Chains A and B, each alone.
Chain A
Amino acid sequence: KQEVTQIPAALSVPEGENLVLNCSFTDSAIYNLQWFRQDPGKGLTSLLLIQSSQREQTSGRLNASLDKSSGRSTLYIAASQPGDSATYLCAVSSPFNDYKLSFGAGTTVTVRA
């Protein structure tokens, strides 16, 4: 069974600092990996999707890397802003799991003004 772990569980940084969020998974036979953002009381918003054949994806201040062989992905958020405060979830899908998503528990980020 695929296990997804996100470390740290919570992170507090001053505005302007770069954020580094880690995600690890136990089974490297993934189809793709997706990073989501969830604001309190809201739904999940997709940030980046990395296909299994890709090494990284970028969108604005966000960059996500994927190292399938070591079972790791990292989400970098440059020059953090208070508006980046949210919970960030990592999820992987696999054809061996009928393409269902396996979620990490999330990292809750607070950016202090």
Chain B
Amino acid sequence: NAGVTQTPKFQVLKTGQSMTLQCAQDMNHNSMYWYRQDPGMGLRLIYYSASEGTTDKGEVPNGYNVSRLNKREFSLRLESAAPSQTSVYFCASSYRGGRNYGYTFGSGTRLTVV
């Protein structure tokens, strides 16, 4: 019962470097999401994928790109990291349209940009 798996768990980047955060779910959920969590700002949605083959912007998409690789995997890419992107990143999945299906979150990636 892995649920939502995120890699890596920790990362330190230099300003301008790029990296991809990986997320995979094994619950056959159709929707996947990327959030960032910052002190005093709560959880903010970066991008989401309502179903395989679609992606949409959330509240704070600037500086990020996403790829819904298949039904299981949804990656988040930082093309040129900035210190403002220092945050904890969470991936989540859900069964869109299922009243009894809530969101399941991964354990997070703690990213520091120096």
Chain A interface (Cβ within 8 Å of chain B)? 31-32, 34, 36, 41-46, 49, 51-53, 89, 91, 98-101, 103-106
Interface residues of B in 68-114 (CB under 8 A from A): 90, 92, 94, 96-97, 99-108, 110
Select one of A43, A89, A98, A106 contacting B107, CB under 8 A.
Answer: A43
28 A-B interface contacts by CB (under 8 A): A32-B99, A32-B102, A42-B107, A42-B108, A43-B90, A43-B105, A44-B90, A45-B105, A46-B103, A46-B104, A49-B100, A51-B100, A52-B99, A53-B99, A89-B43, A91-B103, A98-B48, A98-B56, A99-B50, A99-B94, A99-B97, A100-B45, A100-B58, A101-B33, A101-B45, A104-B42, A105-B42, A106-B42
Cβ-closest chain A residue relative to B100: A51
| Interface bin, chain B | 20 to 34
Q: What B residues does A99 contact at CB under 8 A? A: 31, 50, 94, 96-97
Shortest beta-carbon distance from A58 to chain B in Å: 15
Q: What A residues does B43 contact at CB under 8 A? A: 89, 103
Instruction: State A53–B42 Cα separation when bound (angstroms).
Output: 28
Shortest beta-carbon distance from A44 to chain B in Å: 4
CB-based contact B103/A43 at 8 Å: no
Q: What A residues does B56 contact at CB under 8 A? A: 98
Select one of A34, A52, A53, A106 contacting B103, CB under 8 A.
Answer: A34
Q: What B residues does A32 contact at CB under 8 A? A: 99-100, 102
Q: What A residues does B103 contact at CB under 8 A? A: 34, 46, 91, 101
